[in-house]
Structure 1
Amino acid sequence: MSTASYTFLNGGGQAGGLIRAVDWSATAMGSPEQWPESLRSAISISLNSGFPIAIYWGQEFTLVYNDAWSSIPGDKHPWALGKPGAVVWPEIWDGLKDQFNAVLRTGESIRQPDALLLMNRYGYKEECYFDYTLSPIVASDGGVGGVFNAVIETTYRHINERRNALLLSFWENLNRSAGVAEAAELICAILNRAPDDICFCALFSGSGPEGHAVPLSGHLSIPGESLPIIASLAEGTAFSGKPLKINGLDAYLPGPIMSSYDEPVKEAVIVPISNGDTRLRGYMVLGVSPRKRLDDEYMQFMEAVGRQAGTILNNAYGNEINDAYLREQALNEELAAANEELAATNEELHQAQQRLNGLTDELEAKVVERTRELEESYEEQQALNEEINAANEELTSANEELAATNEELSETQIHLQRTLAGLAESDERFRNLVRDASVGIILVTGKDLTTLIVNDTYARLIGRTVAELENRPLFDIIPEATSTFRPVIERVRDVGEPLYLADQPYIVYKDGGTINGFLNVTYQPYRESNGKVTGVMVLCQDVTEQFISKRKLELSEERFRFMLNAIPQQVWTATPDGALNYVNEVVAEDFGEDGGSIVGQGWQKFIHPDDAAATLNTWQKALASGREYQVEFRLRMKNGNYIWHLARALPYREGGKIVSWLGTNTNIEIQKSNEQKKDEFLSIASHELKTPLTSIKAFNQIMRRMNKAENLGTFIEKSAHHLFRLEKLINDLLDVTRINAGKMVYDIQPFGFKEMLLESIESVQLKSERHAIILEKADDVDFNGDRLRLEQVMTNILTNAVKYSPEATRVVVNAAVQDNGIVVSVQDFGIGIAKEHIEHLFGRYYRVDNTAMRFEGLGLGLYISSEIIKRHDGTLWIESTEGEGSTFYFRLPLQTNEEDRITEYEGYYGDRSITIEHNVAHFRLDVDWKGFQNVESVQRGGMKMLEMLTKAGASKVLNDNTHVLGSWSEASDWAAQVWFPQMAAAGLKYFAWVYSPSTFSRMSAEKAADTTPGLVETRFFGDPESGAAWLDEKV
């Protein structure tokens, strides 16, 4: 038969078509007509799901997968279809096969969040991360036939968070370097913490002219003999200003450069550290991880590293500029002092010149007077000559004084010229530093804040030119920024103290458009020579990219915290020395305290005193050895009860050093309880087996001593009764052993169901004189199953009904065809069962203690009955009221050729068991479950809900169970362990669960929903209207 004729292989897109094209008879799975119903159901669910699902079937784990999963094997698709898991994944199978075998062996699910798998998907060993579950697929023979693998690839998120953490380290250190050399050392130190993404680094930077070589500023993880070759490769390709890729790097080098994975680095990239407009230029050579493909995201990350490194270097260069500015201020003060000294010298020179002019005028007057008098008298002439000689001597002295003054004036003028020249040179140098700075700089003065100095970088920030800004009031040009920045500038000017503001948003308008971003701003008061503040120098660094990266990192950290809180168990981290430093919300909820308070107190407050010493000793040994920590202890919950937990922790290493511990505490109270019940059972079993043996032995001894044969009949009958009881106990034990080993044999044949009921009732009625077992109704249908095993179920339920209603006189039986199945009920009117015991009744070794009376038996009957019903794809449940009696139900599906009609369109899905509608007006999914449910229908409907929730982006669900019949308890574990955590991860926040009328179904609902505390708020309601009203209150 062609695979295209099998309805369970319908759909599935491209993967579905490929599956139908495979010759499965040539694989270990064999022809599809031989496939068991459990495999067919699993494949049908996967093909019609938008969630990535793979099925590994049989002992060879033959692989079948759907469209959503087909991207995971990379280039191995579609070759991987129909191949054994060990053939598809030889590189990781040694680490996975134990998990897969454990699922086959134990039938228990396994979940691995964020697991590292080094997979060969594209021709090289790749670093990959996955959140996956391995769930059992129960085959018809009672064993586990295969593994159901639901998976989400988390590689991008995990690596992106790691890379964002590195970029955040750059951002946190943007302004911590006083100079360029110190900045280069800091950059190498930051990159040393990222060996998984950057295997080596060479940094080249300088302030020479464009097109000239720049020197090596720093390097990391490059052997000395390889460094000159790296430098020559970089120098030959680095002046394009664009990122460049170097392939086949190992062919150029004398020896390999090893990565953190002990594999040689074969690729490198050259990324610029500036955009060409900055004074400080350069590039970086970065080694590419051999376990990641150099795709667009990787290249963008490398470019971001280059930009961040360039920002650190240029900020350091800006700090040098600021130091030069401070030195300029000091030179201005020195020049002011020189000007004052020059003014005083000029005043003194002026006074000397005035005295000299006075002496000259006085001498000339005397000469004229003496000449006239000489004409009158020779004697007077002679006397005049003497006076002239004296005057000449005085004039000579005055001339000498004038010459000295002139010489002093000349020296003062030379000093003044030199000072003015130095001032001009200093001012030019200062203006050049401002012009070439990589940060925006503007100097505004006066009351109207007129622009005195401004550079191109600042002008570009606001979409203007230097010419548009110079000598104009700043806020006449950008009035929209007045309310944000003018009050700050005026305060710095008035107070005279500098101010630094980080991550300041700004917005300006230009040509009808908007320019916005984020700035780190330094406001520095500008002082004149007399110390008066007349303006403010503003330094603006554009940190828009860093701010966005920081915000993305914060969101990434929030998602990481969300993931930790999504895990339905206690998660914690500790420092390398063992101090607790984080607990997730599950811990806080369990303990009823704030997470910060728990971290401050540590585990000591919550660990049982009897377990504290051993726990501390084990923890200290793990810290000392750096190996896995594992211990069992009891923790005190918020209700005061101590619950057993299994604690496990692993060290997280960076650069070979432990930087933290990641641990979990898993609730193992159920396992411990089962161990205790098993011990109690063994004690009960030894007693129950010993009692009939003792009685038989006593009767045999009596019969051996008896002389009259006519009295032997009574003791033989009593011995036979105890032998029958002993045989039943042994058969129960053997059945449990067969069930656990998956070796329970079933003889599937058609038979009359009503006839089987009548014979079972007759068999039990013969042993019960007090009770009348009444068959009220029984539809006469043919059923395909193991008659003897189902008769065993009926006998067990009827026997219990008689046994646990000692004061009653009747038991009522009904069997009716309903919803493609036959539903059987057995009602007694006895002691009833308390609600807390009902959900455990089908467990091994469980017996309900009743203080009023004790009943014999091992407590295995209902467990065996439940397993027999399961193997017939049926369900078993109970409704009971303590003191009034119990009704046991089981439902068996009838074979039918009727196909399930599916209706599906945008925002709607409907089949026989469920309808799902995207309620756009109320931002939720409205879900209505209908009729009898089983594992297959619950899983199919649940995965469709997950798909529609993800597509709609909804966070609320109205889950109506009022139309559910019977019980879906067999699917509750899957819903709790797999489905609910996946719904939480997809965005579910509020879940309104409308109860089914069945008590058993209600308990299944409560069990399934109690797995995501703190992530999904679940409320239970008696009607849909109340649930819808509650959801409408949630935003």
Structure 2
Amino acid sequence: MSSGSTAEDVFAEGGEMGALMRSFDWAKTELGPVESWPLSLRTMVGVVLSNRFPMAIRWGERLLQFYNDAYRPILGDKHPASLGAPASQAWPEIWNVLGPLHEKVLRHGTSEWAEHFFLPMHRKGFSEETYFTFSYSPIPEGSGRYGGVLVTAQETTSQVLSERRLHTLQQVSASSFQAKRVDDAAQRAVRALGENPNDVPFVLLYLCEQDGKQLSLAASTGLPAGHPPPPGWLGLELFREGGPLAEGLSSREPLALAALSQHLGLALQPEAPRAATRAVVLPLEGGAEGGSPGFLIAGLSIRLEYDAQYRGFMGLVAGHIATAIANARAYEEEKRRAETLAELDRSKTVFFSNVSHEFRTPLTLMLGPVEDVLASDRLEREEREALERVHRNGLRLFKLVNTLLDFSRLEAGRMQASYQPTDLAALTVGLASAFDSAVAKAGLRLVVECPPLPAPVWVDPEMWEKVVLNLVSNALKFTFEGEIGVALRWREDHVELSVRDTGTGIPPEELPRIFERFHRVHGAKGRSHEGSGIGLSLVQELVRLHGGTVRAESTLGQGSTFTVSLPAGSAHLPRERLAASRAAAPASARVAPFLNEASGWLSSPRPAPETAPAPPPTVPLARSQAPQGHILLADDNADMRDYVRRLLEARFTVEAVAEGRAALAAAEARVPDLVLSDVMMPGLDGFGLLREFRANPRTAAVPFILLSARAGEEATVGGLQAGADDYLVKPFSARELLARVEGALRLARERAARERLARERADFEQHLIGIVSHDLRNPLAAITMSAATLLRRTDLEERQRRPIGRIFASAERANRMIRDLLDFTQARLGGGLPLQPQALDFHALSQQVVDELQVAHPERAIELERGGAGQAFWDGDRTAQVLTNLISNALHYSPPGTPVRVRADEEGTEGVLEVHNEGAPIPAELVPRLFQPMQRGDKERNTVGRSVGLGLYIVDHIVRAHGGRVEVKSVEGEGTRFTVRMPLTVAAGGAGGAP
């Protein structure tokens, strides 16, 4: 810098301030003409004017002021009057602080320095809260004297306020988000705001009541002691359109406290000169049906300008409180739901406890009279077969009911064991050997290896029976050739039971879920499709009650082995449940249902006669006894096959098979006139059989009727849409079955009327029940229909009619209770929704995320561009997480001083969220791995210039869960652009993550 002697030389490089100083008449000041100034002053003035950092000089005894262009914003409305004026005159409001500092610098020739120093300046028409980092340095005048002070200053008000406000937001989040109740969340949030009276002098938080008509005061802070309390209730009409506060709400502009007090009846009276005179009213977002869950009334500092930064801070405060309230409300709702479920569970337990006796009563009343009648030698063959069918299915129903009740008691923690020292080998041999005849009938071998054990084993004998019977019957169900092995071995500190088979095996992907309740292996080949899906789960729970474990090993197509391990001794069992050894009760009643069910898998209970018997008396005879068509019947339940065959064979020739593949083979040999098929069968089920028939030109036009225990309009429509001509729900009457069969055959001959009549048959209005209903309805159907058939006989003696009448009445009663039980069982099924989509304004959401990150990074520029309507149906919290991760990533990898650009827009049916930074490009080899969760060492991170963590991995999963995708473009000189595209409407209950 030249130390010229003229004003033109001194002020040559001063910009606007240089021009102003050249035009200033310095001769009229105590400094005199510029040419007479000391060389040090002229030199320093030139240095200051040419500097782009805020600098000033205060010279002489009165400290006359010189400053450059960069210093002018600090002066505010004090410029240009401050030029050449004494500093004490320019800064009277803070001279009591600055004056001593100048005096010390001039007197001792030492520098003074301060960081983020608070100064209450009056430069905008009010006393403003400001902060500065500055240094004061002496300027030598010669002869060891100092002529003035060099001031280097930077205003840090924005930084200090940002850090203070960010801390407040963190405190609001950290405290309120821990709350589990709405009132606690409100009080915690407001208490955190009360710790920052400089930004928020007072706060009133009003929340909507459940009636949606008024607001209640949830929390308040900042009101002086002795101040009249604010009203506890406010009407919502104050805030709605047309109300006195509606305009302030829509504009988000401050309201005069006097007017606000008048509208709300608050009687807010400033107690001190610094008390707030203005306040803002902000709605909390996220209420039901687009409404607000409440309103925040917050005072504004009289020492701060309500600028964009202040406005953004208040918006974030409202957003944080709204989120905390929503989280607490969601927790309360979840807690209420949990309490409701717990109450339902208690009610269910009481229900099962009460209904246990009620179930056994009608079953006993059915089985007892049936056994009495069967003991008679006066029954005709047809009567005996009908009653034997009732007895078999009554026992089967008894087994199913007991299994469901056992499982429900286990689930509720009400199953009480009585552990006894037991000869486990003898008990296991007896149970396994009961299956000898059934296994031999199936053409298999039963190998039982249960040598005597060195000591008794503590078990509950009845529970152990259920374990063994379930495992052996399960092995028989899925084994078609080879053998079933039951072995019991002593293994040092435990005993081990293994049940192995050479059956169909379990697919590897299904093996981990084999013990889950209600889980069944899809497409498994078994002797029957029937089963509740709780047998193995019940085994696992019973084994756990004994302190043991059960595991499964299987090879597909080769067989499976189930291994149960029980600890030896009794130290692992509850002492209060230990009992003395006693004689075991006969197990025949508990074994019989398993054997009856197993026998039903193998063949019909009685061979079909060579000649068709006379039809049941309840079925009117056809005019002609000649067969009216060939019917193919497929049903895996032997009793149901036998019953339906007997109903139809008086009018039709009937070919009955046990599963879908056999039906295809039979149709290949002879194309039937009509197919009757159960829906749920092992191997190829009814729907699969229907698809095969429709795909084959030879059988495509064959009428097809589906039989199923799954009731309800949805099941019916599903069957018809799959291509069935009719869908018949069990239990059905003989007349209804004949009518449907004859109708379907008639429709086949009258092809033109088929579509109209098929639509008429689609009007069924029963509820779809769970998978268990199939197993419960089949035996009940056989019992009810057989009893009804017998009761309609005119030649039935009165002594026989009375017990059969009791059977029929008991079966009907059981039917009602079974429906209740199934309702309870089905209510326990279902899943959660990982996504919670709702209508949202993603423009506002983007603005909120940008504002929050801008507060956290005041030194960086984040630019938001918005386009389109900005309306979508997304999960708001997850979408905010996506934007936050992408913007934070961009801020981290872009050079300082460059902006991060964000775009929230629409393109067709997709919403677009785009984040762009001007940093170095991503190496090409890293791009394919951006969305994989990885951790990199420092060496590799320095090599590639960036690290890959969980942020982008989470972004990718959230976007995929919304049905969207993430695109990455990174080019040298253009930076990196992440583009998220998601459908504007995402279905509720979407996928929980990317595959």
TM-score tier after normalising by the smaller chain length: 0.3 to 0.5
More helix per residue: 1
More strand per residue: 1
TM-score by length of structure 1 reads 0.37
The structure whose Rg is larger is 1
Q: Which has the higher contact order (CA 8 A, sep 6+)?
A: 2
